[in-house]
Amino acid sequence: MTLYELIKPLLFMLSPERAHSIAIKALKFGFLPASRAPVSDRLSQTLWGLHFPNPVGLAAGFDKNAEVFGPMLRQGFGFVETGTVTPLPQPGNEKPRIFRLTEDQAVINRLGFNNQGLEKYIDRLKNRDKGTGIVGANIGANKLSEDQIADYVIGLKRVIGLADYFTINISSPNTPGLRALQSREALDDLLSRLKAVRDQAESAISVPLILKIAPDLNDAECEDIAQIILKHEMDGLIVSNTTLSREGLISPLRTETGGLSGAPLFDLSTTVLSKMYKLTDGKIPLIGVGGISSGKHAYTKIKAGASLVQLYSALIYHGPDLVNQINRELEELLKEDGFSNVTEAIGIDHL
């Protein structure tokens, strides 16, 4: 029995937000020992000039304020995405705002980009040891902002040079009007302005800009997004954020407002991932997110077109040992299918 399995009943007696706060403190003070991550040439790859020791990353939302990216990298993740951070600190929505749907192995949240703001976030990233692993920055807009696009511009200007890649989060359902930025004209404007910021930056290396989209897009919206990101030569696409769908849920908490993540999101997010791979002709690296809790899940995303994958909600139910379990399972699946490296399996379901 793992340490997490021993303490999980105690953590589940607490509210999800309280349990998360305890986890962050335990990581900050070194109470969670580093894990022996499997080292494998079969799992490693170089993407955007960055060396990923394995394709399994920690999704944004866990380390909102860039407090524990180092300890989480030491748990075995191939990369860690911090944030979402907004220009100004904000408390987020009223509590309670996170709900465990245990019967569905899912989570509903309506946090609303609660975070300490750019100043503290930047201070922590400035002090990071870049040799410890790949760290991404997920940037968003303040709830009361009169110009949401300007918030993204501010975020990128302030943080550029401090993270290895940047995720443009325009797909959270918990900030009013945010998902409207996925529309064709608004997205075109947003990406034009952000690319201008990057092109004008003093950094000698052109850091990757990655767009994070919702799983609730229709075919026409997917086509529009594909055309715009190809036009702007975006570096990557994360598919997907949480969903507003409640299809198939059995938990009494299924009617809570917010974005749904976890196991029920797997099929929907994988379908959209596959669709975006086709629409972009495999020209843009994709990061598959949504419902991953096993090596088989990760492998399915990769075969559907993902170069990398991310998880978060599954950690709530399975603990941090899950990441190394997924990597071990994924390596075995690649080996069984005769692949010497994970890159050989990307998008093979489309062949």
For residue 240, whether the previous peptide bond is cis, meaning omega lies within 30 degrees of 0, is: yes
**Amino acid identity for residue 18 in this structure:** R
- For tokens 């990369």, the residue is 79
Closest to 34 measured CA to CA, from 80, 71, 5, 2: 71
CA distance 290 to 135: 20
Burial of 319 (0-12, 13-18, 19+ CB in 10 A): buried
Closest to 212 measured CA to CA, from 175, 257, 248, 161: 175
CA distance 123 to 237: 27
Closest to 308 measured CA to CA, from 287, 323, 324, 327: 287
Other Cβ atoms closer than 10 A to 252? 10
**Amino acid identity for residue 206 in this structure:** S
Catalytic residue among 145, 171, 172, 269: 172
Q: Are 301 and 334 in contact (CB under 8 A)?
A: no
Q: Are 110 and 257 in contact (CB under 8 A)?
A: yes
Give the phi and the psi of residue 65 in degrees, each rounded to 5: -105, 20
* Catalytic residue check, 251: no
CA distance 325 to 329: 6
Q: Are 83 and 168 in contact (CB under 8 A)?
A: no
Enzyme catalytic residues: 172
